């Protein structure tokens, strides 16, 4: 019995080191030891040996999309590997709070390995950056982010059956000269930490004895370029940091501080409801934050930002101490390279079909900020849709024939439903009526030209989803569900009728984004919120809604506790101004 | 009334910007506005104008010594300026805990401005590094640590009446080749953060798919050079981090991890009681931490550490993944330069007299790790001491004559008391007896030769204080007290009789270090403690003593709350392994 114990433990340890899922373990066990007890065990293992090797799923990225995918994936069905240069997930909506120290960087990150360990996920993680996707050979090339004291350059290659690209986006400087060199960004945790240090740097520099008043003014001029939610929230956080904390510690230079938001559009927060934009602008005016709308930044030097008025066309340069660039998202080089391989040139992000698969690319999926769903236009497929609906091949459609395929049409082309809703139409008959004239609903008959005419404006409702955490998380979840039921759905498809090419049904319903609203924190315990159903909420009470939502959305109890204790600490003790 | 209000506010603002303590404010006020109300105010200001300008105290450094000095200084008596490249105070004894994430860096730092704001200290702080002390001109040259986006090189000059040098020490590599390039250190908060990242880096690197078993072993070999309290505590923290947290997240590579402590002496913790050293070595052996004593590191390359056995003399090279050098303290370049100016060459630290004033230097004081008190030897002054005691100029001393000056001797030369204590002598008569033979105590008479003979071994008890936070804080406190009662003590000196040169008494009693014991955390909730009175305490219960002492010693309620909540978080959720 003692021997059995020893050998089985030895074998288990061996297996631990060598065996990979998919390799038959029976042979190994028999090699390790051939005691009676173990043979029985090996036999039972041999029985299950003929099982097909698991498909390899490779996930690139550990942001909202990537982690949401793995969290919801049934990892027992696949051999899952995750690659990311960051071994943690960051709760990015709280990044602006990190810039001022309202929340600590560690409170918003969760190690990837711990996330998956807690979910009992059998996932292999490699901390490395993917620098090349080779879709023809179904491989990706990666490079370790770690260098010091270690041999080799850390390059390696991995192959896949399914590739999930969730690499996110980078900043978009629109090729404005000087931006990369002189501006701060707000994409990664490190960026937020750097901004925090830079702000303190400016205050310390302006406190030195040999600084002229003019230079103090310059040093304490904080410029935010881009009036989107990130820029606005950062400006608000900075203002709070200033009036709640720094004023007490740097009273002598308080009067030199200025915050400016430069926005090329007419209003800040232009993706929000107009009431929210107006509320934000009024609040910022009261706070003394300058909102310069209608200006485009054309150049940034080490101490000047040059803007061009959109209306007048005049160029003006203003001295500044620190600038944060938050004006749009760009494409990562590896995505750019991959898009060129597959012929998707001149695009900002990878185009996928409605099932999040990269067009023209077998087995490659793309989710999150690095991808956009390119919704098929119904007008491109109109003849085939007509033919499919025209079951009796009469060349005309009756209302019944249309209604028979209407659900499939609406699932496949969601713009049809959106259009009808926007036009306050009750059913498809209302839509058709415009084309065939004022005939009676029941006896209505349309030919192909009338059908085209009726649907001609529908495609105007095609909208791409915004590049937000909410979209990315929903896409990850959706794709994981598809992977989980792949086998089942191949037999019992649950998608709509195939309109173009092929017969039968699509395996899955297409991805559909559900908008749950969005927040715009404006500082001073005031938050504006756009809620589902065209509701808008603003003020102090919304701050508490914001606290609850953000606390509940944390990925772990650890980060939830940390974020809440950070908020509490801020209430009691204020923010820390140590330059670390 | 409205006008008065306006002008007085304008004037106040002007003053805020321009006026410095010591400059008469009356003239400025009159220039700013000459309303009736203000003239009255100006008059009252003019009355207090003849007051002498305050003496300028310049403090270099915001470590234990510098902050302890300013905290205890009566800042209303002086014009105080503090210079440091770090705008925070760091609770350095918790640095080893930061390396593993048991405690967060921000939990152990407190902004200097906030520390002084809370104490209502009228102190000016500049975030800059002093790079030259010019004692002949009574000025220091400083350079701002901040560069980006700001004009000028940030150099400036400040003059002083009293200079308090509290710049601390740097690492001492003993000119071992490769140490500066390849080793980590543990002096600053940034060092601890870097070590934390490096440890995670090693684990991530060893988890990559293209790593051989040999390289894994190398990558996960953590070497601590120096078996002092810092090195030992770091090794213990690393071991805890490993077995409590990383094992769960990196199970596949757990077996390759090794921690080695290289110590040149025969035992680790050689400044502690022998029982503690033995306890620590036994615990580390149980934990699998290798303690290599009697080895000196002679070279460090990017992947090899070469050690030389002190006994055998043989050189051995071992591959390693990360190394921490904690083998002694060195001198900062600015201190080195200053020592050369004042002729203190070939020293490790600034020599001060027993009142912490730098020898050969008027108005300059040095405290903390950058200084050592050089205690005068009684044998150097023996003739003068004899002369002073010999009030009747008889050429001999009676016991009464000795006893009359004994207290002053013991205060001036504390080694006399220490020697008597070490020899278990009850009074000075016992000491003298050895020199004059077995005569009767009361009628004892000694000449100069016998007096010399009696005291000849006393100076062996002169010991320099260790370079610890405890010493630094006590020195800062002591010096501040001296500054506070300077005027009073010039009239009513409280120090001992001047033995060498001058007559009357020293203004102050010399500095005397009181040792309150020290801790050596050994990991696994075990701490060894050396307590006052030769007590030693080891084990789990001492951990709780350690928690209480370290929590109570925090400089603010904010850091106290943060450190305690960090400990709690670690108990509940473990340490974070995100690489940020």
pLDDT digit string, tens, across residues A393-442: 888 888 888 888 888 999 999 898 888 888 888 888 888 877 776 666 66
Give the nearest chain A residue to B190 (CA atoms): A580
Q: Is the CB of residue B117 less than 8 Å away from at least one CB of chain A?
A: yes
Report residue B216: phi and psi, to 5°. -60, -45
Read off the pLDDT of each residue in A44-65 and give the average, rounded to a whole number.
79
Q: CA of B473: how far to CAs of A81, B58, B468, B554, in Å?
A: 53, 17, 9, 13
Could you write out the three-class secondary structure of B441-482? CCCCEEEHHHHHHHHCCHHHHCCCCCCCHHHHHHHHHHHHHH
Rg (CA), chain A: 29
* Residue B345 DSSP label: -
Read off the pLDDT of each residue in A11-28 and give the average, rounded to a whole number.
38
Bridge partners (DSSP) listed for residue A263: A293
B205 contacts in A (CB within 8 Å)?
A: 127, 144, 146, 150, 154
Please say whether the beta carbons of A480 and A69 come within 8 A.
yes
How far is the C-alpha of A486 from the C-alpha of A503, rounded, in Å?
18
Quote the minimal CA–CA distance from A87 to chain B in Å.
Answer: 6
DSSP A120-166: T--EEEEEEEEEEEETTTTEEEEEES--TT-SS--EEEEE-SEEEE-
Taking Cα atoms as reference points, which of A364, A423, A506, A509 lies closest to residue A59? A364
pLDDT digit string, tens, across residues A269-327: 988 989 999 999 999 999 999 999 999 999 999 989 999 998 888 999 999 999 999 98
How far is the C-alpha of B439 from the C-alpha of B319, rounded, in Å?
68
Length of chain A: 580
A158 contacts in B (CB within 8 Å)?
A: 209
Quote the minimal CA–CA distance from A300 to chain B in Å.
Answer: 11
Up-side HSE of residue A460: CA atoms within 13 Å toward CB?
Answer: 8
Up-side HSE of residue A66: CA atoms within 13 Å toward CB?
Answer: 33
pLDDT digit string, tens, across residues A235-249: 999 999 999 999 889
Q: Which residue has the higher pLDDT, B123 or A445?
A: B123
Length of chain B: 580
Q: How many CB atoms lie within 10 A of CB A574?
A: 18
Q: Is the CB of residue B209 less than 8 Å away from at least one CB of chain A?
A: yes
Smallest Cβ–Cβ distance between B88 and the set A114, A208, A580 belongs to A580
Please say whether the beta carbons of A95 and A229 come within 8 A.
no
Please say whether the beta carbons of B110 and B89 come within 8 A.
yes
A577 contacts in B (CB within 8 Å)?
A: 87, 111, 113-114
Complex confidence, ipTM: 0.85
How far is the C-alpha of B349 from the C-alpha of B170, rounded, in Å?
11
B90 torsion bin: left (phi>0), alpha (psi -120 to 50), beta (else): beta
How far is the C-alpha of B317 from the C-alpha of B361, rounded, in Å?
47
Contact B205 A154 (CB under 8 A): yes
The pLDDT assigned to B152 comes to 55
Contact A146 B204 (CB under 8 A): yes
Please say whether the beta carbons of B70 and B82 come within 8 A.
yes
Up-side HSE of residue B545: CA atoms within 13 Å toward CB?
Answer: 18
Element (H, E) at B382: helix B382-389
Contacts of B497 (CB under 8 A, 6+ apart): B388, B405, B408, B412, B504, B505, B506
Beta-strand runs (E) in B353-402? 364-366, 371-373, 396-398
The pLDDT assigned to B263 comes to 95
Q: Is the CB of residue B208 less than 8 Å away from at least one CB of chain A?
A: yes
Please say whether the beta carbons of B522 and B280 come within 8 A.
yes
Give the nearest chain B residue to A558 (CA atoms): B573
Query: Residue ranges of chain B with pLDDT lower than 50?
Result: 1-47, 148-151
Give the nearest chain B residue to A84 (CA atoms): B204
Query: In this structure, what token pair is assigned to residue B433?
Result: 């007896």
Bridge partners (DSSP) listed for residue A372: A351
Q: Is the CB of residue B284 less than 8 Å away from at least one CB of chain A?
A: no
Which residue matches tokens 């350690």? Answer: B546
Q: Would you call A453 exposed, middle or buried from its count of C-beta atoms within 10 A (0-12, 13-18, 19+)?
A: middle
Smallest Cβ–Cβ distance between A201 and the set B111, B146, B577 belongs to B146
Element (H, E) at B323: strand B322-325
Q: Is B496 helix (H, G, I), strand (E, B) or coil?
A: coil
How far is the C-alpha of A491 from the C-alpha of A487, rounded, in Å?
7
The pLDDT assigned to A34 comes to 37
How far is the C-alpha of B19 from the C-alpha of B81, rounded, in Å?
15
Bridge partners (DSSP) listed for residue A308: A296, A315
Taking Cα atoms as reference points, which of A79, A493, A290, A16 lies closest to residue B251? A16
The pLDDT assigned to B435 comes to 72
DSSP A470-503: HHHHHHHHHHHHHHHTHHHHHHS--SPBP-SSSS
Q: Is A109 helix (H, G, I), strand (E, B) or coil?
A: strand
- Buried residues in A284-296 as b, exposed as e (16+ CB within 10 A): beebebebbbbbb
Q: Which residue has the higher pLDDT, B70 or A535?
A: B70
pTM exceeds 0.90 for this model? no
Query: In this structure, what token pair is assigned to residue B117?
Result: 């704001």
Taking Cα atoms as reference points, which of A117, A69, A70, A110 lies closest to residue A91? A110
The pLDDT assigned to A442 comes to 66
Bridge-based pairing of strands B396-398 and A445-447 is unpaired
pLDDT at A337 over 80: yes
Please say whether the beta carbons of B217 and B121 come within 8 A.
no
The pLDDT assigned to B2 comes to 37
The pLDDT assigned to B82 comes to 96
Q: CA of A131: how far to CAs of A135, A156, A190, in Å?
A: 13, 10, 21
Contact B87 A577 (CB under 8 A): yes
pLDDT above 90 coverage of chain A, percent: 55
Smallest Cβ–Cβ distance between B580 and the set A190, A208, A573 belongs to A190
B126 contacts in A (CB within 8 Å)?
A: 204, 207-209
Taking Cα atoms as reference points, which of B25, B335, B158 lies closest to residue A208? B158
Contact B156 A561 (CB under 8 A): no
pLDDT above 70 coverage of chain A, percent: 89
Please say whether the beta carbons of B65 and B368 come within 8 A.
yes
Contact B189 A113 (CB under 8 A): no
Smallest Cβ–Cβ distance between A104 and the set B86, B104, B249 belongs to B104
The pLDDT assigned to A435 comes to 72
Give the nearest chain B residue to A126 (CA atoms): B208
Quote the minimal CA–CA distance from A5 to chain B in Å.
Answer: 20
How far is the C-alpha of B330 from the C-alpha of B174, rounded, in Å?
8
Report residue A202: phi and psi, to 5°. -60, -45
Give me chain B's average pLDDT, please: 86
The pLDDT assigned to A30 comes to 35
Lowest mean pLDDT among A24-38, A172-186, A250-264, A363-377: A24-38
User: Which residues 320-359 of A have a C-beta within 8 angstroms of B?
Assistant: 320-322
Smallest Cβ–Cβ distance between B303 and the set A106, A126, A149 belongs to A149
Please say whether the beta carbons of B506 and B96 come within 8 A.
no
The pLDDT assigned to A45 comes to 43
Please say whether the beta carbons of B232 and B268 come within 8 A.
yes
pLDDT digit string, tens, across residues A164-214: 999 999 999 999 999 999 999 999 999 999 999 999 999 999 999 888 999
The pLDDT assigned to A462 comes to 86
pLDDT at A369 over 90: yes
Contacts of B103 (CB under 8 A, 6+ apart): B94, B97, B563, B566, B567
Query: In this structure, what token pair is assigned to residue A331?
Result: 């494409």
Smallest Cβ–Cβ distance between B144 and the set A110, A198, A208 belongs to A208
Q: Is the CB of residue A488 less than 8 Å away from at least one CB of chain B?
A: no
How far is the C-alpha of B390 from the C-alpha of B405, rounded, in Å?
10
Taking Cα atoms as reference points, which of A306, A202, A269 lies closest to residue A466? A269
A149 contacts in B (CB within 8 Å)?
A: 182, 219, 302-303, 320-322
pLDDT at A452 over 50: yes
Helices (H), B288-357: 333-341
Residue B425 C-alpha from the chain's centroid: 34
The pLDDT assigned to A35 comes to 39
Give the nearest chain A residue to B149 (CA atoms): A302
pLDDT digit string, tens, across residues A114-156: 998 877 778 999 999 999 999 999 999 998 877 533 445 678 8
Beta-strand runs (E) in A326-420? 329-330, 350-352, 364-366, 371-373, 396-398
pLDDT digit string, tens, across residues A498-507: 888 778 899 9
Report residue B130: phi and psi, to 5°. -80, 125
């Amino acid at each position: 019995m003692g021997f059995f114990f020893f050998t089985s433990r030895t074998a288990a340890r061996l297996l631990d080191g060598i065996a990979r899922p998919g390799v038959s373990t029976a042979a190994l066990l028999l090699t390790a030891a051939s005691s009676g007890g173990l043979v029985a065990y090996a036999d039972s293992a041999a029985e299950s040996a003929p099982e097909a090797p698991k498909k390899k799923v490779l996930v690139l990225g550990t942001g909202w999309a990537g982690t949401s995918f793995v969290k919801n994936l049934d990892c027992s069905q696949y051999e899952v590997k995750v690659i990311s240069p960051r071994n943690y997930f960051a709760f990015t909506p709280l990044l602006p709070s990190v810039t001022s120290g309202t929340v600590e960087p560690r409170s918003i990150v969760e190690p990837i390995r711990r996330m998956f360990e807690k979910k009992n996920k059998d996932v292999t993680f490699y901390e490395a950056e993917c620098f090349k996707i080779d879709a023809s050979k179904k491989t990706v090339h990666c490079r370790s982010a770690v260098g010091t004291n270690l041999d080799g350059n850390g390059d390696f290659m991995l192959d896949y059956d399914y590739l999930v690209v969730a690499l996110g986006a980078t900043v978009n400087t629109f090729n404005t000269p000087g931006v990369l060199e002189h501006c701060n960004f707000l994409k990664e945790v490190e960026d937020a930490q750097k901004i925090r240090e830079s702000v303190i740097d400016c205050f310390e520099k302006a406190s030195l004895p040999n600084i002229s008043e003019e230079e103090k003014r310059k040093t304490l001029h904080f410029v935010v370029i881009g009036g989107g939610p990130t820029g606005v929230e950062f400006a608000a956080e900075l203002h709070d940091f200033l009036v709640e904390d720094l004023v007490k510690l740097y009273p002598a230079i308080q009067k030199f501080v200025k915050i400016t938001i430069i926005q090329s559009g007419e209003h800040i927060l232009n993706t929000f409801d107009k009431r929210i934009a107006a509320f934000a602008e009024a609040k910022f005016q009261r706070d003394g934050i300058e909102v310069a709308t209608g200006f485009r930044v054309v150049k940034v030097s080490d101490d000047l930002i040059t803007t061009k008025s959109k209306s007048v066309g005049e160029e003006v340069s203003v001295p500044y101490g620190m600038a944060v660039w938050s004006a749009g998202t760009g494409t990562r080089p590896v995505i750019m390279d991959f898009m060129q391989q597959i012929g998707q040139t001149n695009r900002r992000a990878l185009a996928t079909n409605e099932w999040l698969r990269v067009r023209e690319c077998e087995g490659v999926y793309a989710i999150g900020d690095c991808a956009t769903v390119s919704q098929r236009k119904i007008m491109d497929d109109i003849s085939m849709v007509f033919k499919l609906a025209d079951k009796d091949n009469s060349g005309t459609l009756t209302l019944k024939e249309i209604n028979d395929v209407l659900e499939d049409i609406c699932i496949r082309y969601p713009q049809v439903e959106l259009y009808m809703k926007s036009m306050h139409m009750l059913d498809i008959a209302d839509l058709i009526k415009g084309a065939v004239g004022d005939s009676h609903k029941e006896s209505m008959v349309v030919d192909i030209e009338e059908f085209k005419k009726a649907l001609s404006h529908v495609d105007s409702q095609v909208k791409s989803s915004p590049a937000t955490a909410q979209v990315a998380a929903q896409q990850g979840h959706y794709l994981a569900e598809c992977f989980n039921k792949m086998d089942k759905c191949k037999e019992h498809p649950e998608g709509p009728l195939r309109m173009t090419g092929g017969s039968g049904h699509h395996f899955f319903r297409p991805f559909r984004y559900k908008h749950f609203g969005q927040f715009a924190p404006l500082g001073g315990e005031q938050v504006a919120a756009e809620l589902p159903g065209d509701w808008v909420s603003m003020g102090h009470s919304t701050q508490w809604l914001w606290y609850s939502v953000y606390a509940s959305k944390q990925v772990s109890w650890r980060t939830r506790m940390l974020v809440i204790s950070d908020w509490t600490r801020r209430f009691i003790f204020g923010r820390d101004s140590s330059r670390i």
